[in-house]
Structure 1
Amino acid sequence: MSERASRSLADKLNHLFASVKPRGGQEYSNEHVAEAIRAGGVTISQSYIWQLRKDKKQNPTLKHVQALADFFGVPAAYFFDDEVTSRVEKQLELLKAAQERREEDAAGQDVKLMAMRAGELSQERRQQVMDLLDVVYRLEQAERRGGMDSPG
């Protein structure tokens, strides 16, 4: 039996939150998951999801387990069958690696497209684009540091 086999439902649910993310890359919120599940016709609250994730509730109903599994795109057995858990997590790792490669490829394509378009601009317009890019770059760096330094 592997060390992963004995994980709690909370651990497995938290692993799904950490592994299955929307395109923006940020983890789904409990509220987002609850709203999506409610839209599918199953009554669930964000606080109940929080309780499941914090291991304060350990025995969800089958309909809640199925709804959570459906939201994250895994079989309900993921939460109960250690072999299924292991297989799904390996698939999620492969999917994540493939998504990262696609994102890197897309970023590379964006850079190439920008360079091609910039090459068709006059020197004056290229300088304007560089100035704008510098401002955007500084804003993003400030956001990453957690502050909003002025760009100028």
Structure 2
Amino acid sequence: MRSTGSAPGEDDRPLLLQLEQRLNKLIETLYPDERTRPGYARLAKEIRETTGGSISATYLWELATGRKRNLTLEQLDILAQFFGVPPEYFLNDKVSERVNAQLMLATALRDTKIRSLALRAEGLSPASLDALLTMVDEARKLQNLSVMNDPNPPRSGSND
């Protein structure tokens, strides 16, 4: 049964909204700079050249804007192959969350200062690493940034 205040299909079919959001997340992650982000025609060409599969520029735009949501398994597989994610990324919340955590890490590691900080922390004791994490959290608060939760918290009894 549909809720009365929403457009048909929006509230009762969240998977359709997630497809649009997840596709856009992948595009933004692969092309973080909006100024150099390809248009849908160039993206469709890159997908064709990389995977051998074909998705039109118009269809990509329709998927990314939520105008079309009827993705075939073949198209799902082509998108997953191009973006380097499992096809389940588009359909499964747990897989999507895991992949998004990996994407966040990969995006952060593009920054040479973040990479340098991570490499310099290698070999420090767990207590020293905890102190560094506390300092980073405090620096984020000072700059009015949200404190980030560790997507992979250590298991109890673990020292990693």
What letter is aligned with 1:11? Q
User: What's the counterpart of residue 104 of structure 2?
Assistant: 93
Rate the CA distance shift 1:91–1:79 in 2: closer, same or farther, 3 A. Answer: same
1:9 to 19, 33, 44: 19
What's the counterpart of residue 35 of structure 1?
45
- Structure-2 change in CA distance of 1:101 and 1:30 (3 Å): same
Q: CA deviation at 1:103?
A: 8.8
In the alignment, what sits opposite 1:70?
Answer: 81
Please give the alpha-carbon distance, in whole angstroms, between the structure 2 residues aligned to 1:70 and 1:45: 16
Asked if structure 2 preserves the Cα contact closer than 8 Å seen for 1:33 and 1:71, the reply is no
TM-score normalised by length of structure 2: 0.55
Distance in 2 (alpha carbons) for counterparts of 1:98 and 1:61: 34
- 5+ residue gaps in structure 1? 106-152
1:56 and 1:6 mapped to 2: Cα distance?
A: 10
- CA gap of 1:25–1:72, structure 2 versus 1, over 3 A, is farther
Identical counterparts, % of pairs: 34
Q: Distance in 2 between matches of 1:11 and 1:57?
A: 13
Compare CA radii of gyration and give the structure with the larger one: 1
Q: CA deviation at 1:28?
A: 3.5
1:1-152 mapped onto 2 (5 Å cutoff): 7-21=17-31, 26-39=36-49, 40-101=51-112
Instruction: Give the partner amino acid of 2:39.
Output: S
Letter in 2 for 1:15: K
Conserved? CA contact 2:24–2:64, under 8 Å: yes
TM-score (norm 1): 0.57
Alpha-carbon distance between aligned partners in 2 of 1:25 and 1:90, rounded to the nearest angstrom: 25
**How many residue pairs align between the two structures?**
102
Cα root mean square deviation, aligned: 2.9
DSSP 3-state at the match of 2:111: helix
* Secondary structure in 1 matching 2:71: coil
Aligned to 1:115: none
CA shift at 1:36, angstroms? 2.1
Task: Report the Cα offset of residue 6 of structure 1.
Answer: 8.6
Determine if contact 1:16/1:72 at 8 Å carries over to the other structure.
yes
Please list every run of 5 or more consecutive structure 2 residues that lacks an aligned counterpart in the other structure. Answer: 1-13, 117-160
